[in-house]
């Protein structure tokens, strides 16, 4: 495994260099793919943004496409397409903070109750000399299955946005910084208890990555993953945040930076986390090249290995899967 290769690389220098050896990586890729069979009933869910449709793709080359008939209660809602847990999909209507879980197989629906933290009143310790209003911004980061508790859970970041009407921004920021109740916080929902609770955790969110391209949140084996990217600094400090739904702790895995990156995205391949890196040459803007990196060990920046490169190809926006 890649995790063992990196861990024991300090024993012998030649072991640490194996990931740079084309012959070794070719053998690894062959073994990585050969132990998985795709000749089953696995299907891919495709979200067509322009038509707001969900389609199921199946077949050896996903050539069979069937449009899913959405229940009336969710046919107008936004599909949150960053993975599913045991076939359950989730939808959101941001303007009214409504979340719905849907099982396409049984057609069961579950409307998630509002959190008691969604309504906010300023504490008595804050005195405002200017007109002010508060807006709660909810950013859903993941949905998955807790194997230990036999429970489905949602994790999200909540931000209280304060709108001053007659106050300078610098004075506003100073005032808001004085009160902990106005700080962003995390909350988690349990389907078993049908309730939300606050988490006492200081964890990076994915709100800094403001892009409509790619999937930057995925779920795998009881853990929700998302990218934390700072585009203003050309991905300096970019990392993968992995939140364990069972013990409610997170791991921060730094992401290596490369020149010419246009965007990044996450996916799941053969029970592993993979990272898309889209490169674009300034001299050939109509050409797309993708690096596919696989993560060997959480928390270790050096354990990202380039599995293969796709391209150069005629330019296209984004891959739909790997």
Q: Is residue 115 part of a domain?
A: no
Mean pLDDT per block of 10 residues along the chain (322 residues) reads 55 54 57 54 60 69 74 72 74 77 84 80 56 71 91 87 54 53 83 93 66 69 84 60 92 77 77 80 69 87 83 67 62
**Which pLDDT score is estimated for 213?**
46
Its pTM stands at 0.74
What distance in Å separates the CA atoms of residue 319 and residue 276, rounded to the nearest whole number? Answer: 9
**Which pLDDT score is estimated for 212?**
44
The total domain count for the chain is 2
Q: Is residue 60 part of a domain?
A: no
Give the torsion sign (CA, 172, 175, 180, 182): negative
**Which pLDDT score is estimated for 92?**
80
**Which pLDDT score is estimated for 26?**
60
What distance in Å separates the CA atoms of residue 309 and residue 16, rounded to the nearest whole number? Answer: 21
What distance in Å separates the CA atoms of residue 220 and residue 237, rounded to the nearest whole number? Answer: 23
Tokens of 191: 């389907």
Q: Is residue 145 part of a domain?
A: no
Q: Is residue 180 part of a domain?
A: no
* SS3 (DSSP) at 33: helix
**Which pLDDT score is estimated for 16?**
54
Q: Is residue 250 part of a domain?
A: yes
Q: Is residue 273 part of a domain?
A: yes
Tokens of 303: 């354990």
Which residue segment(s) compose the domain that 251 sits in? 210-322
At residue 144, φ and ψ (nearest 5 deg) are -165, -175
Tokens of 98: 């409504």
**Which pLDDT score is estimated for 289?**
79
Q: Is residue 51 part of a domain?
A: no
Distances (CA, A) of 309 to 225, 277, 305: 23, 9, 11
Q: Is residue 4 part of a domain?
A: yes
At residue 279, φ and ψ (nearest 5 deg) are -110, 145
**Which pLDDT score is estimated for 150?**
93
């Amino acid at each position: 495994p890649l995790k063992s290769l990196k861990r024991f690389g300090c024993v012998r220098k030649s072991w640490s260099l194996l990931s740079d050896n084309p012959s070794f990586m070719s053998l690894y890729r062959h073994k990585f793919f050969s132990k998985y069979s795709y000749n089953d009933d696995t299907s891919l869910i495709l979200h067509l943004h322009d038509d707001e449709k969900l389609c199921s793709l199946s077949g050896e080359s996903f050539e069979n496409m069937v449009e899913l008939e959405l229940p009336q209660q969710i046919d107008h809602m936004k599909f949150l397409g960053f993975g599913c847990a045991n076939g359950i999909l989730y939808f959101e209507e941001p303007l009214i903070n409504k979340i719905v879980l849907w099982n396409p197989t049984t057609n069961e629906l579950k409307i998630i109750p509002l959190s008691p933290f969604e309504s906010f009143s300023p504490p008595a310790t804050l005195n405002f000399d200017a007109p002010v209003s508060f807006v709660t911004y909810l950013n859903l980061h993941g949905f998955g299955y807790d194997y230990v508790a036999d429970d489905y859970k949602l994790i999200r970041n909540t931000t209280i946005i304060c709108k001053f009407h007659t106050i300078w921004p610098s004075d506003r920021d100073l005032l808001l910084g004085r009160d902990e109740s106005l700080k962003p916080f995390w909350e988690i929902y349990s389907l078993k208890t049908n309730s939300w609770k606050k988490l006492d955790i200081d964890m990076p969110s994915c709100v800094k990555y403001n892009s409509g391209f790619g999937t930057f949140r995925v779920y795998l084996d009881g853990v929700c993953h998302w990218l934390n990217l700072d585009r203003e600094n050309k991905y300096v400090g970019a990392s993968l945040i992995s939140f364990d739904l069972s013990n409610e702790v997170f791991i921060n895995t730094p992401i290596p930076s490369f020149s010419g990156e246009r965007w990044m995205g996450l996916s799941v391949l053969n029970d592993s986390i993979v990272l898309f890196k889209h490169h674009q040459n300034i001299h050939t803007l109509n050409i797309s090249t993708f690096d596919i990196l696989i993560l060997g060990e959480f928390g270790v920046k050096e354990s990202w290995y380039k599995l293969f490169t796709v391209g150069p190809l005629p330019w296209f926006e984004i891959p739909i899967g790997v």
